[in-house]
Structure 1
Amino acid sequence: MRGILGLLLVLLCAPAPANDQSLWEKSTLNRILKRGELRVGLEAGYMPFEMLDKKGNIIGFDVDLARLMAKTMGVKLTLVNTQWDGIIPALLTDKFDILMGGMTITAERNLQVNFADPYIVIGQSVLLNRAHEDKVTTYSQLDDPRYTIATKLGTTGDIAARRFMPRARIRSFESEAEAMIEVRSGRADAFVYDLPYNVVYAARFPDAAVHLKEPFTREPLGWAVRKGDPDFLNWLNNFLRQIRDEGVYDALYRKWFENTAWLKHVAG
């Protein structure tokens, strides 16, 4: 009994753990509130997540979520358009506060950044040159040296093409538009990329390519933040849970993924 009482006294008299207030002072969320500005990193061009309208403004599903996030925080929103292959380094060097560019959560990326809970799940699909419309019906048929596959550099589509179509010739490009020019011209046979983008592209340019609609991967997308910031992650997860519970998330999803009225406003 005396041993237990002694242990309790030691625990009660021991120094308290480091004050969590110090974590909060360093938190990105705290700095956002003090600055009065939420800086969001993305790359315009990934329909329907973020793209340029005819006036040069960035619009899309992620943009509406970011705008709602800033409103909830009571701060202004600044969008930082960043090239994809440098977007994680830009986050790590504080060019913006959060990466909301439709990034797939992977173990490799998670070594560099932390992810909030997935906000949408997608997969990779194929946009096919119309010359192959009756010859190729599944992604697996493209695993052949006769075919050239276009991908976007540094994306999970690039990784998936190399993994599932290792015998095909893979050509990577800086943007979706460049890759699709190759497919439409016949210099590439197919484009491997995220299902939502491919659905929208096929709806926008019905004569340009054939969409093989069945995704062949399953990929959760998440918002990325710098490591060592539990307060910001906690807030983001609760924000996502709240907008889902209130039906706001579903309304935005329908606007961008089930309705194509916004296509008339997109540049190009």
Structure 2
Amino acid sequence: MKFKLLVGTALILSCLQVQARTMDAIQQSGTLKVGVPGDYAPLAYRNASGALEGYDIDMANALGKSLNLKVDFVITSWPTLSDDLAADKFDIAMGGVTETAKRKAEFGLTKPIVANGKIALASCSVAKELPDLEKIDQPKVKVVVNPGGTNQTFVDSHIKKAQIIRVKDNFDNLQALRDKTADIMVTDLIEGDYYQNKEPNVLCMATEKPFSGTESHKVYMVKKDNTKLLESINTWLQGETKSQLAKQWKIRE
């Protein structure tokens, strides 16, 4: 009987441990858990030494400091991002989250962080030949895409004739362009700007303006019922940190 009672108690405690962390619980823990896929430069990515860096990494650390909390980064992925947040693996999702109707319905989204939209990033050798969606969606063109995010949604919805090469993650997308095993990848204006400046004559933006209808914003995402955390983040975003770090990382606001 005692054994059954102990097992029952352990199960109850286990259930309590997986409940959503409220703002009060976060503050009591002293740690803010931030989920990032870690493959989206210049927002959140691993540098040559393997350490996370980027605009959203700096933003997360600044947010944590303002709340007097230590920041613990949790690596997630685009296919599992929403499920991981719903399962309380972290308190806030950052690192390239696009505002969508589905995410807005299911989660709490912050005020816009950075203006954005979908563009085509290409191998520079073919960029000039692919200035619009009509030229891109041709049988001879190879479009590379990774699963789980809004880039895949765009490709699946708009690419009907071109060859689609599906790879594991965003790093593989970029490498395919460098290796010229693919011609273009659909990505965000933010990322296109970054890589065109970082790797001139290798990676070029084939489309300088976002595809029509794709204009969007990057946001941060929390659980729907975590209203105190969302309010705290939005209040903090009204300060100067967002603009200061955007200039530092050369990100268009």
What's the TM-score once normalised by structure 2's chain length?
Answer: 0.83
- The aligned counterpart of 1:168 is 162
8 A contact 2:123–2:177 mirrored in 1: yes
For residue 115 of structure 1, the aligned residue among 109, 112, 137 is: 109
Instruction: Supply the AA of the counterpart residue of 1:218.
Output: E
Find the aligned partners of 1:108 and 1:209 in 2 and give their Cα distance.
Answer: 32
Helix, strand or coil for the counterpart of 1:88?
helix
Find the aligned partners of 2:127 and 2:189 in 1 and give their Cα distance.
Answer: 18
Change (3 A) 1:136 1:29: same
Structure 2 stretches lacking a partner, 5+ long: 1-19
- The aligned counterpart of 2:226 is 229
For residue 48 of structure 1, the aligned residue among 28, 42, 45 is: 42
Helix, strand or coil for the counterpart of 2:129?
coil
User: What does residue range 185-224 of structure 1 map to in structure 2 within 5 Å?
Assistant: 185-212=179-206, 213-216=208-211, 217-224=214-221
8 A contact 1:128–1:189 mirrored in 2: yes
- The aligned counterpart of 1:4 is none
Q: Deviating runs (4+, > 6 A) in structure 1?
A: none
Structure 1 stretches lacking a partner, 5+ long: 1-25, 260-268
Find the aligned partners of 2:168 and 2:230 in 1 and give their Cα distance.
Answer: 31
Instruction: Supply the AA of the counterpart residue of 1:166.
Output: K
Helix, strand or coil for the counterpart of 1:111?
helix
Change (3 A) 1:133 1:229: closer
- The aligned counterpart of 2:143 is 149
- The aligned counterpart of 1:254 is 247
8 A contact 1:152–1:193 mirrored in 2: no
Residue 99 of structure 1 and its aligned partner are, at CA, apart by 0.6
Find the aligned partners of 1:54 and 1:149 in 2 and give their Cα distance.
Answer: 27
8 A contact 1:116–1:236 mirrored in 2: yes
What's the TM-score once normalised by structure 1's chain length?
Answer: 0.79
- The aligned counterpart of 1:182 is 176
8 A contact 2:57–2:95 mirrored in 1: no
Q: Percent identity?
A: 25
Residue 112 of structure 1 and its aligned partner are, at CA, apart by 2.9
Instruction: Supply the AA of the counterpart residue of 1:221.
Output: K
8 A contact 2:27–2:69 mirrored in 1: yes
8 A contact 2:21–2:88 mirrored in 1: no
